[in-house]
Amino acid sequence: MASSQIPLISVPFKRTDDVNWIDPLNKYIAQQYQDDPQKYAQETYTLNRLRQDIRGAGKDLTGRDLLYRYFGQLELLELRFPVDEKHIKLLFTWYDAFNGKTTSQHSLAYEKASVIFNIAATLSAIASTQNRAEPAGRKCAFHFLQAAAGIFDYINDNFLHAPSSDLSRETVKLLSQLMLAQAHECFLENSIREKKKDGLIAKLASHAVWIYASIVDELQEAQSHGVGMDKSWSSMCQIKHRYYQALAQQFKAVACEADGQYGEQVARWTVAEQAAKEASGKLATQLIQQATANHGQGTLPPDSGSVLQELCKSLAATCTEKLAAATRDNDMIYHDPVPQASVLTPIDRLNAVKPIPLAELYSPEEMTKVIGNDIFTHLIPLSVHESASMYSEEQAKLVRAETEKCDLAKAELKTAMDYMKLPQALDKFKQPASELPASSLDPPSQVLEWAGLVASRAQPPEPTISQQFDQLEKSRNNARLALEAVYLVLDQETKEFNSNVLKYGERWTQSSSGSSTRQFFQDARNHQQSLDNGINSDNHIYRQFDPVKRDIDQLLQGGGPGHRQFEHMFSERLSTLLDQDNKKKTQGIDSLLDLSEPEPTETEDDKRKTTMETVDRIQGYLDKLFRMEKDRQETLEDLKERTRQDDIAQLLILNKKSGSEGQLFAAELEKYRPHQQRIGGSIQQQQQVIQDLTAAFKTLMQGQEARQLQSKWDKVEQEKRRLVDQFKHAKAIYLETKDSLGKGLQYYQQLHSAIEMLMNNCRSFAQERAKERDQLCTALESSSQQRDQELLKERLSMYGGPPSAPDISQLADRTQQLSLQQPMATPAIAKASAPLHPAPPPVMQPQVPATAPQQSPYPMYSQSMTSAQAPPISAAPPSHRPSYGQAPPPIPPSPYRTQPISQPQWQATPMPQAPPSVNQPVYQAIPYQQPYQGQQPVYQPQQQINQQQPQYQSPYQQSQQQTYGNAYMSQQQPYYQQQQPQQPPPPQQHQQPAYGQPAYWNGSGSLMD
């Protein structure tokens, strides 16, 4: 230390014992926060390590930062953990800084007060070791001493009930004054070195005299109360009091000389000499002894006494020399009366220091760096969560309000643009009057969407519409061929029956084919009606699809890779429509689309120029509006992003004790004020620009050129809408046709299945009839030969001896004649499979001429044919509309067919089965109400017969039945015996479509490849 540097006092440290933070914090986290303490093991360890580090903190800047970091974390910790005797019970033990007495408490406030006491002590120690000969050293000491005074004032203001004497209000107040006095010394030294005015220095020194006089009194009082401060502090303060008294009088004497007050100058030099000698005498000697003895405390430099003594002696010598010179000059020259020291005017005092608050010890950046992040930042109290939610709701209200403003402004702008049809309306004026912009001929986006939809319905695995037409034609032909096969089988069986009737006459006892196949023919006619209905529906689809085929092909092309070609095609079609309209207009009507105009005159050029200027002004307004909308939207998005990232949980924790959440919310929401102002200004500016735009657009549209262009564009839009409507209609027909073809294919498949079932039943029936016919033929042939032989024997016996053998041809003719004239002896109800007995011997009758009998020799054939012509069964065929339904449901087996015992039953055909007179329910099909709705025929019973239908009995179990058909008809079908015979209507022939055949459709109704 330089000999000319006045020594400074530093405050001693408070010592402490070790404290374990880990276990109490873990217990509280588990009990109160209901969380796993191990999740915060690192945090508790960090806090505990900080507590250990402050015990060995040095008297330097590093030690200061360690102490302040621990204090800052204690401040944050207190917001989450209540450390006291009732909650987290920790015992903090500290030793008194002056007398060394031990004090222990559970209060966290005691811990914080002790920590910041040491911070102040550290600052005083750093200040006392600065080299004040340098400006930086003086400045540093000046700052740290004021900061130390501020910390002692903080302890005095916030810790009212000090458990130890070193933290009492009197002690910390005394220490604060001491730190300020020493800081004032630093400022005085700096003023002397900078050679300030003598009067100013005198005032500064006068304040030092006053403050040290007060400190001396307080030190003596503190020593009387047993605070334990070192006595050297009192001695040093007394010396400094005298020293600064001499220094103040010195600079005041110099000032008096400058003012011509020579007598006062002599008096002040006298007082200064006396004060300097007192300081360098007994007081300095006493300080030297005390400083040497108490150097272990480290509050004073070891040479502080000798340094002060030398400074005082030097000042006393200077004062003696100056006093002699002043006295000599006054006695010899000025003769100014010298006043007594007691009547001298006191020197004015000037204070140059003030305490620096604890919060200003560091700058905000330095404080964040020193304290670091909150150790328990992830541990948020419930009350803070609730407050943060309230703040989030305030943010949401603000964002909703600004969003609503932006939406209203956007809607206002859109309404104005739509009303004026901007910016599209300006395109009409930017092109020459004889040309149309290419964009006006482009297809709308809606048409492109339709093309994509149509093309998607033709992508695998879904078949194309051509493939569906082919499949439909194939299914229809399959059903038609199957139905023809059914008729063939039934006709063949009828032909065989009629052949046998002609051959055997009354001896042919098999039931009539007509009565047996009536139900099969009725089923076939119903199927034929369903097939005809399907063909009618197909024709409707063809007629509907053919006119829009071209448009559909173009949509299919536009929905695939060839969409560019589709756009070009659309433009060409629209241009063709416009050209056709122009040709019509040029024949006698003024053309609204005549783009050829006469050569412009000078006046027209001026009009064109004025129009383009107006167009440019409107375009400028539009650009400005679009920029404002974009800027407004970006501002709103930035506001939303900032509110999402804004987290004031830490601020709420820091201000938890203040109870001023409303003020905090308002202060935090103020940072969004620039966004609100920017959005509001943009909306106001937009309204003004819209007004200017409306006026400019009105001026533009009132011009003659604008009206002419508008007429032309209206025609373009009209033709474009017409073409768009065509494609819309084609799209709808395409989708409807696709669905109808799918239903039609399903319809024909079901119809074909029903016809196949009918075919199987007919084949089984024909096979049974053939078997029965073969058995009956065999029996008739055998009976006929036996009768002929017996007749021959009987005639030969009547004539005696055996006659000569007749001629073979003669015998054959006679045998045939006898067999045709002889009445039948076989019962009419004989069964085909029953054993046949030989007829009784015939009675000889004379030969009659071979003439035609008066009565028909085939009464059974006539009866069978009559029964075969019974009226058709009144069963309504299934309804059919262009939207295909399902094929008729399966029908139980017909009760009109014979069932031989030796053969199994065949499957029933899925058609209506009996007329109303039979004991079966009759179903009627409810016709469709609307076409193409996918409805199905609903069959409802028209008559319910509770009596159960009698079981069919085999012909071999009924001995009184005459034939298969007659016996069955006599028991269960009296209706057919009482009705007049009617011929069933012939099957309907396949009708060709009545409309003109399209180019892709051949004569038979099938799609051509």
Q: What is the pLDDT of residue 46?
A: 95
Question: Where residue 523 falls among pLDDT bands split at 50, 70, 90?
Answer: very high
The residue range of the domain holding 28 is 18-195
Residues 108 and 209 in one domain: no
**DSSP letters along 668-701, please?**
HHGGGHHHHHHHHHHHHHHHHHHHHHHHHHHHHH
Residues 251 and 171 in one domain: no
Q: Kindly state the tokens that stand for 121.
A: 């002590």
Dihedral-angle region of residue 430 (phi above 0 means left; psi in -120 to 50 means alpha; beta otherwise): alpha
CA dihedral 832, 836, 841, 847 (to 10 degrees): 30
Question: Where residue 438 falls among pLDDT bands split at 50, 70, 90?
Answer: low
Residues 221 and 291 in one domain: yes
Q: Kindly state the tokens that stand for 450.
A: 């339709």
Q: What is the largest CA-CA distance in the chain?
A: 227
More confident position, 745 or 890: 745
> How many whole angstroms separate alpha carbon 746 and alpha carbon 12?
105
Q: What is the pLDDT of residue 251?
A: 95
Q: What is the pLDDT of residue 787?
A: 82
Question: Where residue 352 falls among pLDDT bands split at 50, 70, 90?
Answer: very high
* 570 closest CA partner among 430, 456, 451, 428: 451
Residues 216 and 136 in one domain: no
Residue 791 belongs to some domain of the structure:
no
Q: Kindly state the tokens that stand for 634.
A: 């970006």
In contact, 992 and 985? CB cutoff 8 Å:
no
In this structure, of 93-107, 467-481, 499-513, 590-604, the range with the lowest mean pLDDT score is 590-604
* Threshold 0.75, pTM exceeds: no
Domain termination residue (choose one: 171, 195, 219): 195
Residues 201 and 343 in one domain: yes
Domain termination residue (choose one: 335, 358, 381): 358
pLDDT at 916 over 50: no
> How many whole angstroms separate alpha carbon 720 and alpha carbon 731?
17
Domain termination residue (choose one: 358, 377, 403): 358
Distance of CA 137 to the CA centre of its chain: 65
> How many whole angstroms separate alpha carbon 581 and alpha carbon 573?
12
CA angle centred on 267, ends 265 and 272, rounded to 5°: 95
Residues 132 and 170 in one domain: yes
> How many whole angstroms separate alpha carbon 590 and alpha carbon 585?
6
Beta bridge partners of 940: 924
What is the per-residue pLDDT across 60-115, written as a single tens digit (0 to 9) for each? 999 999 999 999 999 889 888 999 888 889 999 999 999 999 999 999 999 999 99
Q: Which residues make Cβ contacts (< 8 Å) with residue 9, sequence separation at least 6? A: 124, 128, 178, 182, 233, 236, 299, 300
Please state the rounded mean pLDDT for residues 286-307.
Answer: 78
What is the per-residue pLDDT across 683-711, written as a single tens digit (0 to 9) for each? 999 999 999 999 999 888 887 777 777 77
Phi, psi of 939 (to 5 degrees): -90, 130
More confident position, 60 or 429: 60
Total count of domains within the chain = 2
What is the per-residue pLDDT across 369-412, written as a single tens digit (0 to 9) for each? 999 988 988 888 777 878 888 899 999 999 999 999 999 999 99
| Tally of helices (H runs) and strands (E runs) in the chain | 28, 4
Question: Where residue 525 falls among pLDDT bands split at 50, 70, 90?
Answer: very high
More confident position, 240 or 441: 240
Residue 625 belongs to some domain of the structure:
no
Residue 310 belongs to some domain of the structure:
yes
What is the per-residue pLDDT across 806-815, written as a single tens digit (0 to 9) for each? 555 555 555 5
Q: Which residues make Cβ contacts (< 8 Å) with residue 13, sequence separation at least 6? A: 59, 97, 118, 121, 122
Question: Where residue 592 falls among pLDDT bands split at 50, 70, 90?
Answer: very low
Question: Where residue 917 falls among pLDDT bands split at 50, 70, 90?
Answer: very low
Q: 821: how many CB neighbours lie within 10 A of its CB? A: 13
> How many whole angstroms separate alpha carbon 2 and alpha carbon 7?
10
pLDDT at 992 over 60: no
Q: What is the pLDDT of residue 862?
A: 31
Residue 204 belongs to some domain of the structure:
yes
Residues 223 and 191 in one domain: no
Residue 148 belongs to some domain of the structure:
yes
pLDDT at 492 over 70: yes
Residues 132 and 154 in one domain: yes
Residues 65 and 130 in one domain: yes
What is the per-residue pLDDT across 831-883, written as a single tens digit (0 to 9) for each? 333 333 333 443 333 333 333 333 333 232 233 333 333 333 333 333 333 33
In this structure, of 145-149, 380-384, 781-785, the range with the lowest mean pLDDT score is 380-384
Please state the rounded mean pLDDT for residues 588-599.
Answer: 45
> How many whole angstroms separate alpha carbon 131 and alpha carbon 313?
22
Beta strands in 89-157 (DSSP E): 92-95, 102-105
Residues 185 and 236 in one domain: no
Beta bridge partners of 1001: 1007
> How many whole angstroms separate alpha carbon 900 and alpha carbon 968?
13
CATH number of the domain encompassing residue 35: 1.25.40.280
Q: What is the DSSP letter of 989?
A: P
Average pLDDT value for the chain: 77
Please state the rounded mean pLDDT for residues 588-611.
Answer: 56
Q: How far is CA 90 from CA 111, 216, 423, in A?
A: 10, 39, 76
pLDDT at 5 over 80: yes
pLDDT at 293 over 90: no
In contact, 140 and 147? CB cutoff 8 Å:
no
In our burial notation (b when 16+ CB lie closer than 10 A, e otherwise), range 136-147 reads: ebbebbbbbbbb
> How many whole angstroms separate alpha carbon 434 and alpha carbon 712?
10
**DSSP letters along 614-643, please?**
HHHHHHHHHHHHHHHHHHHHHHHHHHHHHH
Residue 265 belongs to some domain of the structure:
yes
> How many whole angstroms separate alpha carbon 760 and alpha carbon 752?
12
- Residue found by looking up tokens 């016709």 in the block: 927
What type of residue sits at position 64?
Answer: R
Residue 458 belongs to some domain of the structure:
no
Q: Which residues make Cβ contacts (< 8 Å) with residue 564, sequence separation at least 6? A: none
> How many whole angstroms separate alpha carbon 412 and alpha carbon 409?
5
Question: Where residue 288 falls among pLDDT bands split at 50, 70, 90?
Answer: confident
Residues 103 and 225 in one domain: no
In this structure, of 51-60, 330-339, 805-814, the range with the lowest mean pLDDT score is 805-814
Residue 246 belongs to some domain of the structure:
yes
In contact, 222 and 366? CB cutoff 8 Å:
no
Which is it for strands 102-105 and 92-95: parallel, antiparallel or unpaired?
antiparallel
Residues 73 and 129 in one domain: yes
What is the per-residue pLDDT across 442-487, written as a single tens digit (0 to 9) for each? 777 788 888 888 888 887 888 888 888 999 999 999 999 999 999 9
